[in-house]
Amino acid sequence: MTQKDNKTYDELDKKYYLQTFKRYPLTFDHGKGSRIWDVEGNEYIDMLGGIAVNSLGHCHPKVVKAIQDQAAKLIHISNFYLSEPQVMLSKKLVELSGLDRVFFANSGAESVEGAIKIARKYAHSIGRGGNIISFENSFHGRTLATIASGKKAYQKGFEPIPEGFSQVPFNDMESVKKATDNNTAAIIIEPIQGEGGVNVVDITFLKALRNFCDEQNIVLIFDEIQCGVGRTGKMFAKEHFGVEPDIMTLAKALGSGVPIGAILSNEKVSSAIEFGDHGTTFGGNPLVCAASLATLEVIESENLMQQAEEKGNWLKEKIAAMKNPDIIEIRGKGLMIGVEFNFETKPLVLKMLENGVLANATADKVLRLVPPLNIPYEDLEKAMEVLEKSLKEIKNHG
């Protein structure tokens, strides 16, 4: 019988699992709300939320019940047939987003791949090429097409990289114009870059980008995989800017941890898709759609978007009040917060972990905080105490 401790599981993981994750040697056993416990009974406050996935915290009772009820009824049927959860989730997302059609996938990267296919099919239907423009410091996934649209570091060793992808600086309209021609099918952008360091798009730039895409008949794709589904204080980050995309991708928080992604598109681009152009075996099965419907219902009924906005403002004020000289900038919207320091933040995250708080270092010098939207102020207070304590400890130890 396997001994239940962190060290044993860490050794088994290193023996059997493909070593592509540089994991912390912790094995988690159970969670409730914004608290999570490892196999040795150590308790942590979760300020990472499974990387912006657990927006309702761990094991929200309404989501747990929806999954349990659906699992006892019908789990999977394939997309040859309809299921009530998928039909109702389709209706809900179309109504919430203001877009016209939805397609369900299993992940964020898969949603972006599907969005690229829809954009290219539309572009070809009007005589344009299939090139895709993305932005520096963007992250759209780990498949071949999504790394082609992302950082060069993620492409190393996986050549040949798919052609037809290029990048331009974030918030730079002149660079966008120079990079486009008749072969440009689409431009993809995160309204708030997540992995790139929680960089918020400039509203003037985004509106200019929308106007330019309209003039050139280029498809505009919003990647809201991390910033969507209530995270920023709005159901979708696009609402902060008053700009509508042609296609929007979702995943992460959409199913509270069950694997679901979605591609939402307007009728203009959707009309280019014909029977058989795209497909999925697992995407949008009854189980994940039931979980997603329950998730959206909780976000609305428990006013979690308002909570995200209020708690996000509170957190930013608390961090600013620390007056730490090593902080360069505090940015983000709602409970999607990035704190940029003048040093690499991995040692800070490790020290916070030692002190019982889960967080994340991204873009080298940014501390990323994406906790559950319903995290109590008591836990936020404790997390801020740990942040301040950890900053002092790493400073004292060089």
Catalytic residue set: 139, 223, 252
**51, 36 contact by CB (below 8 A):** no
Convert the chain into a string of H (helix), E (strand) and C (coil): CCCCCHHHHHHHHHHHCCCCCCCCCCCEEEEEECEEEECCCCEEEECCHHHHCCCCCECCHHHHHHHHHHHCCCCCCCCCCCCHHHHHHHHHHHHHHCCCEEEEECCHHHHHHHHHHHHHHHHHHCCCCCEEEEECCCCCCCCHHHHHCCCHHHCCCCCCCCCCEEEECCCCHHHHHHHCCCCEEEEEECCEECCCCCEECCHHHHHHHHHHHHHHCCEEEEECCCCCCCCCCCCCHHHHCCCCCCEEEECHHHHECECCEEEEECHHHHCCCCCCCCCCCCCCCHHHHHHHHHHHHHHHHCCHHHHHHHHHHHHHHHHHHCCCCCEEEEEEECCEEEEEECCCCHHHHHHHHHCCEECEEECCCEEEECCCCCCCHHHHHHHHHHHHHHHHHHHHCC
Going by C-alpha positions, the residue among 136, 140, 204 that lies closest to residue 175 is: 136
Going by C-alpha positions, the residue among 359, 315, 318, 349 that lies closest to residue 334 is: 315
**168, 133 contact by CB (below 8 A):** yes
**336, 51 contact by CB (below 8 A):** no
